[in-house]
């Protein structure tokens, strides 16, 4: 049979159809990485354009800040606020807010009752003085033993 068609059950497939489908699949395989790279570059470009817009806004705000420093009234206000400058004859008052120190202080309330110490301090001092003066051993032997942990 010299026909170029192949019968597969009820489906007739032409060799030309197979070649065209193969070329289309090969084209997709070849172009897919390139299209992916193109999309990735478009995302990067969009992100960089957004970053440039943000930096331009930042530059504009800094230029506005610099323009404010050209105004003598603004310079005077900053000198008064930041450096506490005053004109001759004026009196400057600085109010210190010490409430924050009270707020950060410990909230522990001391005991209202008096407690007697468990040992007499004068006896302990005299014993320490006599022990240090009358012994012939070195300081390492007089130190209290520490428990290894």
Q: What's the pLDDT at 37?
A: 92
Residues 33-79: tens digit of each pLDDT: 888 899 999 999 999 999 999 999 999 999 999 999 999 999 999 99
Question: How far is the C-alpha of 6 from the C-alpha of 12, rounded, in Å?
Answer: 6
Task: Reply yes or no on whether the pLDDT at 2 is more than 60.
Answer: no
Q: What's the pLDDT at 114?
A: 79
Side-chain-side CA neighbours of residue 94 (13 Å): 9
Q: What's the pLDDT at 1?
A: 47
Contact criterion met (CB below 8 Å) for 42 and 49: no
Q: What's the pLDDT at 46?
A: 96
pLDDT mean across residues, the chain: 82
DSSP string covering 97-131, please? --HHHHHHS--PPPPSS----SS-HHHHHHHHHHH
Domain positions in the chain are 13-100
Task: Reply yes or no on whether the pLDDT at 123 is more than 50.
Answer: yes
């Amino acid at each position: 049979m010299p026909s170029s068609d192949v019968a597969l059950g009820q489906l007739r497939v032409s060799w030309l159809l197979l070649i065209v489908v193969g070329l289309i699949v090969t084209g997709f395989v070849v172009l897919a990485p390139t299209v992916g790279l193109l999309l990735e570059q478009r995302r990067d470009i969009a992100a960089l354009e957004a970053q440039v817009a943000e930096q331009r806004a930042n530059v504009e705000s800094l230029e506005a800040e610099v323009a404010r420093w050209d105004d003598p009234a603004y310079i005077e206000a900053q000198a008064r606020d930041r450096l506490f400058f005053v004109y001759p004859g004026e009196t400057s008052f600085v109010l210190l807010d010490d409430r924050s120190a009270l707020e950060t202080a410990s909230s522990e309330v001391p005991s209202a009752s008096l407690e007697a110490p468990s040992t007499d301090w004068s006896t302990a001092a005299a014993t320490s003085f006599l022990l240090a003066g009358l012994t012939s051993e070195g300081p390492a032997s007089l130190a209290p033993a520490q428990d290894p942990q």
